[in-house]
Amino acid sequence: MLPSELLITRTKKDRIYPDFVPLDEERLGLAEELIDVYQNFIGKKKSEIDELLEELEPGLNFKRVRGLRTLLERRCTFISKYLIEPVLARRAVFEAASDRRITNINERAAVIATVADTLNISVVDLEQSLWADQESEVILEEFKPLNPEELLKWYNLSLAQTLLFKSTGMTIAVKGNEPAIFRAIKYFGLMYLQEEGDKIRIEGASSLLKLSEKYGTSLAKLLPVIVKSDAWVLDAEIVIRRETPRIYHFIMDSRERDLLVREDRLSEAVPPTFDSGIEERFYHEFVALPAAKHWEVIREPDVIFTSKGVVIPDFKFRHKELDIETYFEIVGFWTEDYINRKLAKLRALPITVLVAIDKNLACFNAAQFDLGLDQPIILYTKKVPIGAVVRYLAEIERAAITKQVERLKETQIELEGDIIPIKDIARRYSISQEAVRTCLKHPDYVVFKGLVVNKELLQEVKDKLVSIKLYVEARRVIEDTGLSNPDEVLAQLGFTVQWKGLDPSAATIAQR
């Protein structure tokens, strides 16, 4: 995007057009010349670069040149070089000059020399430090290069985005890239209505009567995502403020894709984030729980199309062992109209979604407001009750394990060897480890948390432990056998550990 004062447009009747730069030889040459300046002036002051580039403006559209320069400077890293902090250097010089009247360059030089001697630095270093923090004095340290065509396409995209600053809303139709677009709509805080066919009317939470340019900025940030689609059409209302504000239509479609950049490294990406502090707090609390060892939580995972519009659930829970997943949606404070649309889409979902609803909704009244949801619901105030979510997931997990156990009732699990990891059995039969532990009953084996162990091997271990008193020696015997769970084995074989403080070397074992 560009500063508004660098926007170049043309109007015709009720239409407005960004003045895209063509990718012809003349403009590509200009772009190459600008790029060369930044590449060749690494280590130079910004004022030197500005002075050279200003010489290019006569005879050209200065807004165009400055727009291209604006983009190029975003690929620059400028640094201040100084030996003494500029503020401190200026203060020392001003204090030294405060008791005298400086009327000529010689008197100034004398003050500079005195201060430099006091600070134990050279006059050159002091002079360089005095104003090193000013924009004109910063040094170009690094420039990330790009080719002329990329620059011009990036400029055209930025020009269109800048025009959208003044937009109060737009209608789009896209094919391909829909999930990314809807995620971006949600991330930028925009609201939308699904219109006839594949058209989507994008609106925001801000009142359109205010003609808020902050809302237009969100629409502008959406554009790089739209242009990555296979096909797209955009129709935005643009407010031009003159004596009387007038609304124009900005219409653009994928036939102009060749003029616009689509490179991820140049366009603005949508960073992963949270819509509210409530969602963020829930996420961080959940991943810190023991339940997170079994469940993966994914932020805004899928776009689900329904007859009432598109739903992007806030979270998806995916079990790390079982082939199960479920969605979770948090409904916070919004208007009654928005909530009614949200509930209509949730009712139309073909899948099960756990829904958390804020009891403090302005429109929510348990006695009067009929949710009408055929979905599991959690009511909350201030924060989502994470315990209720964990219990819901535990019920799903138990139900899935029960189904697996039922399926395995007629299956004889074959066991070979003295020590068998349960995860290997689970993988062989495509079931969860918990289902293995639940259904495995074998007269010759004992089932532990992570292992299935032959009883004969356990008896051999027990025979060795009878003559051992120290806990650390007992652990060593068990581990040397190949068992990684000595405390479980001791308990299974009827031994107790008698602790004397926290030092394991002082603990002993005894048979019950």
On whether the CB atoms of residues 439 and 429 are closer than 8 A, the answer is no
Q: 264 pLDDT exceeds 70? A: no
Rg of the chain in Å (alpha carbons): 35
Give tens-digit pLDDT for 12-39: 999 999 999 999 999 999 999 999 999 9
Q: With contact defined as beta carbons under 8 Å apart, do 115 and 96 qualify?
A: yes
Dump the DSSP string for 163-202. HHTTEEEEEEEEES-HHHHHHHHHHTTEEEEE-STTEEEE
Residues 6+ apart with CB under 8 A from 249: 14, 15, 16, 235, 236, 237, 238
Q: Report the C-alpha dihedral over residues 476, 478, 482, 485, rounded to 10 degrees.
A: -100
Residue keyed to tokens 């995620």? 183
CA dihedral 328, 334, 338, 344 (to 10 degrees): 30
Residue 153 above 90 pLDDT?
yes
Mean pLDDT of the 364-382 span: 67
Tell me the whole-structure pTM to 2 decimals. 0.56
Neighbours of 466 (CB within 10 A): 9
Q: What percent of the chain has pLDDT over 90?
A: 26
Overall average pLDDT of the 483-502 stretch: 88
- Provide the residue ranges of all domains of the chain, joining segments of one domain with +: 81-132, 165-270, 277-398, 419-511
Average pLDDT over residues 266-272: 46
> What is the residue-averaged pLDDT of the chain?
83
Nearest one of 267, 273, 303 to 180, comparing CA atoms? 303
Task: Look at residues 175, 173, 178 and name the one whose alpha carbon lies nearest to residue 199.
Answer: 173
In sequence order, what are the residues at sequence separation of 6 or more whose Cβ sits closer than 8 angstroms to the Cβ of residue 270? 180, 183, 184, 187, 188, 221, 225
Which CA distances in Å does 422 have to 5, 21, 449?
Answer: 67, 65, 8
Q: What is the per-residue pLDDT for 268?
A: 45
DSSP 21: P
| Residue at token pair 């201060």 | 115
Q: Is the pLDDT of residue 333 over 70?
A: no
- Strand 190-194 and strand 315-319: pairing? unpaired
What stretches of 193-258 show up as alpha helix (H) in DSSP?
A: 213-226
CATH number of the domain at 277-398, please? 3.40.1350
Residue 366's pLDDT is 45
